[in-house]
Chains A and B, each alone.
Chain A
Amino acid sequence: MIHARGLVKRFGDFTAVDGIDLEVAPGEAFGFLGPNGAGKSSTMRMIGCVSTPTAGELRILGMDPVREGPAIRARLGVCPQTDNLDPDLTVFENLTTYARYFGIPRVEGRRRAAELLEFVQLTEKSGSTVEPLSGGMKRRLSIARAMINEPDLVLLDEPTTGLDPQARHLLWERLFRLKQRGVTLVLTTHYMDEAEQLCDRLVVMDAGKIVAEGSPRHLIETYSTREVVELRFGDDAPATYVEKLAGIGERLDPLPDRLLLYSADGDAAVNEVHRRGFTPSSVLVRRSTLEDVFLILTGRTLVD
């Protein structure tokens, strides 16, 4: 579906995407994970054929995005980071006017609009204008709109940013259903849980480069340990404990507010901390996540 070799995007002196290689297969749910400014959105815009690559090779659905943009876009569904729905039109009209952009006949457009509103659970809002809808509803409408041309490939740029937890879960559930139908999904996110929930495979991006690639589980196994212990020490700076706790677990990462201790056996590590005579003010043993992978790979937290 997507093939990229040495893909580069520069804006003047600034290199947003710095030579990445990608391969996305049909039916896959593929994620770009990284902080703001990592180059995820720039990559997505090149895949969506609205931004021209500065250098490198890019093929979408086997076609050249520069010469065959309209033909590729006819088979893509795009859900942008900032909603660009028509606020004055009704929910239903937003879908039917958009259907016309793809040359879908009126009657067929109306049929698909009704079906998609059912799918994103907005049928009751069909006649309402978009303006008063909640953020989650607007995002669901954007996703329905992206599906109007029955695309082979759906691009979702930060699909749940800014939504409350309930709205996020509903959206994830709908996206999971799309995946089950065999739709290829490509999404960007800076949420770990989102990547873990939705992606079969993902790349971690930082400063325009891909720093790791694999399934969420593979990344965690490769770069992190099975468990992570979060230790807090009252008012003391966590960094001062790095030396004192050296040798416990496989790795220690001091953050401004807490110390992360990576270990295959979290409870054993906690026992060792106590045995050395330290009493943290709080202790949390949890499973390792992609957040930890990102921290290990880049030395920085993901959302800051």
Chain B
Amino acid sequence: MDGTFAVFNRALVSYRRLWQASVFSSFILPVLFVLSIGIGVGGYISGVDGVSYLDWIVPGVLASTAFQMAVGESTFPVLGDFKWVRGYHAMRATPVRIADMIAGYQLYIMFRVVIAAVVFLGVSALFGAIHSPWVVLTPLVCALLGVAVSAPTSAFAASIENDSYFALLFRFLVIPSTLFAGVFFPVSQLPALLRPLAYASPLWHAVELCRAATLGVAPPWPVAAHVAYLLAWAGLGYLLALRAFRRRLAD
């Protein structure tokens, strides 16, 4: 555990140096989204599922912010620590284990996602978009989503040599997920054939959990099913990351 916290500590110290660079994407952009789409576009829409469009979209933007942040923070920073900074090689020369490297960074991802979620919820509350005390659980949902996508992304980042693969990751997985996994409109609007793709995305499960929590309604699937699906991604992602890190650091 010491090793895990040491790795977490290093990520925090780096963040303390570099946090200004992420203020826009972490805190300002999500609010701009809510203003432009929630209020701007929402003005033309009577509402979705009986609630105002702003109320409906806030939990979606919340989860998708966590999603994008968790993926983004696991691409270049992870590859960089293998290739350019060689931070993982530095850790490798110490008692820190490979499992600590991954778990410590996942702790950091959770930390980042939770901070961003709390700030975003504060702003959303000012617009009157929070309707249930269950909202206090949404940062935890975001943290779980964060690990569910950051762990496999870390595994991917640890397996590639060239950062141009990240463009493919964003183009074919991150952006389509953001657009079609229930953030901006209900998945039921999708053709039946495409819906399973939305269900497959971890983002959709987090969006539905967050939406249920901020609106105080039941999610489409049992809560346990949504959570189990996200846990499965996190667990599998962790194992893949373990394998990828071991390979990369062997010999």
Contacts and interface: CB of A to CB of B under 8 A. Distances in A.
Nearest to B6: A100
B153 to A, nearest CB: 21
Interface in A3-60: 11, 45, 48, 50-52
Interface string B34-70: 0000000000000000000000000000000000000
Interface string A253-271: 0000000000000000000
Given A82-B86, A87-B85, A88-B14, A45 B3 contact: no
Given A82-B86, A98-B90, A11 B251 contact: yes
B187 interface: no
Contact of A86 (B14, B92, B96, B97): B14
Contacts of A76: 93
A133 interface: no
B14 A101 contact: no
A202 to B, nearest CB: 23
Contact of B87 (A84, A93, A129, A149): A84
Interface in B95-147: 95-97
Given A71-B95, A73-B94, A89 B13 contact: yes
A98 B10 CA distance: 8
A209 to B, nearest CB: 20
A185 interface: no
A70 interface: yes
B93 A70 contact: no
A71 B14 CA distance: 27
Interface centre among B10, B90, B97, B250 (most CB of A within 10 A): B90
Contact of B251 (A52, A93, A100): A52
A78 B91 CA distance: 11
B171 interface: no
Given A51-B251, A89-B14, A89-B17, A98 B87 contact: no
A304 B97 CA distance: 39
A50 B2 CA distance: 20
B89 interface: yes
Contacts of B91: 101
Interface string A71-87: 10110101010101111
B184 interface: no
A84 B85 CA distance: 6
B9 interface: yes
Contacts of A78: 93
A142 to B, nearest CB: 9
Interface string B1-44: 01101110110011001100000000000000000000000000
A82 B97 CA distance: 21
Interface in A191-235: none
A132 interface: no
A166 B158 CA distance: 39
B93 A100 contact: no
B249 interface: yes
A102 interface: yes
Contacts of A84: 85-87, 89-90
Interface centre among B6, B92, B94, B95 (most CB of A within 10 A): B94
Nearest to B8: A100
A93 B3 contact: no
A52 B93 CA distance: 14
A208 to B, nearest CB: 15
A73 B95 contact: yes
Contacts of A102: 94-95
Which 10 A/B pairs are nearest by Cβ-Cβ distance?
A84-B86, A100-B6, A101-B94, A78-B93, A70-B95, A84-B90, A97-B10, A74-B95, A103-B2, A51-B251
Given A50-B93, A101-B6, 14 more contacts: A52-B251, A70-B97, A73-B94, A73-B95, A74-B95, A82-B86, A84-B86, A84-B89, A86-B87, A97-B13, A98-B94, A100-B5, A101-B91, A102-B95
